[in-house]
Structure 1
Amino acid sequence: MSAYLAIENVDKSFSRGAAETKVLEDVSLAVEKGEFVTIIGHSGCGKSTLLNIVAGLTTATRGVVLLDEREVNAPGPDRAVVFQNHSLLPWLTAYENIRLAVDKVFAGASRAERHDWTLHNLGLVQMTHARDRRPGEISGGMKQRIGIARALAMQPKVLLLDEPFGALDALTRAHLQDQVMSLQETLGNTVMMITHDVDEAVLLSDRIVMMTNGPRATIGELLDIPLPRPRDRVALAADPVYLDCRQRVLQFLYERHRYVEAA
């Protein structure tokens, strides 16, 4: 039986005039249903390009992406993306930003059902109190919570997170990490996330995908994170398994950095 999300022998090249740059080369990855996978690597290793291929926002030069045994070749509601920039429409309230996605995906549902579903997803991220506020009236962390709620409201098969906490302060980031962990454990979402943060990757993931340096980046190493859930960040700070996983990711990234300097 094939994986729930299968990335098979994916290459991606970009051309500018006569010059061609191969960003990704022969990337293959199998993600199981309900798994939380994080992609980490140095800047320029094609992390966002790979995520965009899975999202259907760009096409692979070679290879294929299959989701639930169907080929991915265009954007669709079965894959929801949360970017580092919240991407909310500034003239709409928190409720209206989520409702826009709900109306699009669940057009066949009644108005009352769509209203209730919108409120339900606001409640999942603890933002019901801000339902009538516009993006300019709420904090960065609250905007990201609305963005996550909008994505979850689409009931996607895969939730794609592109450094969703990268622009937030440390305390807000920690709070949202905990909230994403709680949501994933409650809902059982399949998640693929990009990050530059080693601690974030180890804390959140079932598996970490470590990318080699670009161009022609590929998967250098896969690391299982055998930590039971739910996870407590304070307790894990001294956990030997957590520390070993963290060390292995840091070692990989350090070796990649040394490789670049030597080149």
Structure 2
Amino acid sequence: MAYLDISDVGISFTRSGKTSEVLQGVSLGIEQGEYISIIGHSGCGKSTLLNIVAGLLKASTGGILLDGKEVNSPGPDRAVVFQNHSLLPWLTVRENVALAVDKVFRGRKSKAERRAWIDENLALVNMLHAADKRPAEISGGMKQRVGIARALAMEPKLLLLDEPFGALDALTRAHLQDQVMEIHARLGNTMLMITHDVDEAVLLSDRIVMMTNGPAATIGEVLPIPLERPRRRLELVEDAVYTHARAAVLEFLYARHAAPALAA
């Protein structure tokens, strides 16, 4: 059995007597330490699937197992990094990370050990120098680094990333992508990321899961990315494996499964 086993998952919502089927028959196995990206057009249920894995939504059909245990509610074994950093503005960077650390490790680590663990994770994302600043005093990219540090500090079995770089400028996004690759190489986290960015998906992923359009969206194709790690973006610009993978994703999204508005 896979480390994360998504089995025949479907979900529908009923509003005003009308039922809308968002996902249907989604099955995917993810091994420990894999970096998986899910890509598809808006409305294909990518974030809905991630929210089901996070335990924030309950599937209508099918089920999910993480490390052999059923997923049916939120838990510290799954940490989510959203596009919006969700930092509390009245707390410092260190205090924002401490919220998660205290919840997970109170009773297991002393106060001094928790502080050291917080600082270790802030150092991992190069934010220890700003530990005493508040969110209003740091940039958008720095806020997202704090969000990643907070998630990592929970020591989750699975790190869920919901378009984590989508609100950032191109240069900041590239820096954070490189940093996430370094963290993944160092810690070996299992990561599941939602993205709209084809280049981002190819650069970061071991496999790319491509979703069909909704309603009743499902997995259309899973594309392995056989690029050696570590990956350096400048070296990949003319790499044949990289360009082939990029072309395969674009062909799926814009030829075989064009967005409804484009296909009309």
**TM-score, with structure 1 as normaliser:** 0.98
CA distance in 1, matches of 2:66, 2:160: 13
1:235 counterpart residue number: 235
Gaps in structure 2 of 5+ consecutive residues: none
Deviations 1:177-230 (A, max 9, x none): 000000000000000000000000000000000000011000000000000000
CA distance in 2, matches of 1:32, 1:106: 26
Structure 1 residue 258: Cα displacement: 6.6
- Is the Cα–Cα contact under 8 Å of residues 41 and 259 in structure 2 kept in the other structure? no
1:69 counterpart residue number: 68
Equivalent AA in structure 2 for residue 197 of structure 1: D
2:244 counterpart residue number: 244
2:105 counterpart residue number: 106
1:47-86 equivalence runs, <5 A: 47-86=46-85
- Is the Cα–Cα contact under 8 Å of residues 213 and 259 in structure 2 kept in the other structure? no
Deviations 1:128-172 (A, max 9, x none): 110000111100000000000000000000000000000000000
CA distance in 2, matches of 1:83, 1:148: 9
CA distance in 2, matches of 1:44, 1:262: 14
Structure 1 residue 101: Cα displacement: 0.6
Structure 1 residue 262: Cα displacement: 4.3
2:9 counterpart residue number: 10
Structure 1 residue 260: Cα displacement: 5.7
Q: 1:259 to 1:48 in 2, by over 3 A?
A: closer
Equivalent AA in structure 2 for residue 41 of structure 1: G
1:257 counterpart residue number: 258
Aligned partner of residue 12 in structure 1, secondary structure = strand
Number of residue equivalences: 262
1:45 counterpart residue number: 44
1:224 counterpart residue number: 224
1:110-125 equivalence runs, <5 A: 110-125=110-125
Deviations 1:86-113 (A, max 9, x none): 0011110000000111000001110111
Q: 1:215 to 1:113 in 2, by over 3 A?
A: same
Equivalent AA in structure 1 for residue 166 of structure 2: G
Equivalent AA in structure 2 for residue 55 of structure 1: A
CA distance in 1, matches of 2:225, 2:262: 29
CA distance in 2, matches of 1:118, 1:245: 38
1:143-154 equivalence runs, <5 A: 143-154=143-154
Q: 1:41 to 1:70 in 2, by over 3 A?
A: same
CA distance in 2, matches of 1:262, 1:155: 43
CA distance in 2, matches of 1:236, 1:40: 20
1:24 counterpart residue number: 23
Equivalent AA in structure 2 for residue 156 of structure 1: P
1:132 counterpart residue number: 132
CA distance in 2, matches of 1:101, 1:51: 20
1:95 counterpart residue number: 94
Aligned partner of residue 186 in structure 1, secondary structure = helix
Superposed CA RMSD in Å reads 0.9
Identity over aligned residues, as a percent? 69
Equivalent AA in structure 2 for residue 126 of structure 1: N
CA distance in 2, matches of 1:177, 1:212: 26
Aligned partner of residue 116 in structure 1, secondary structure = helix
Gaps in structure 1 of 5+ consecutive residues: none
CA distance in 2, matches of 1:57, 1:91: 26
CA distance in 2, matches of 1:120, 1:192: 23
1:165-244 equivalence runs, <5 A: 165-244=165-244
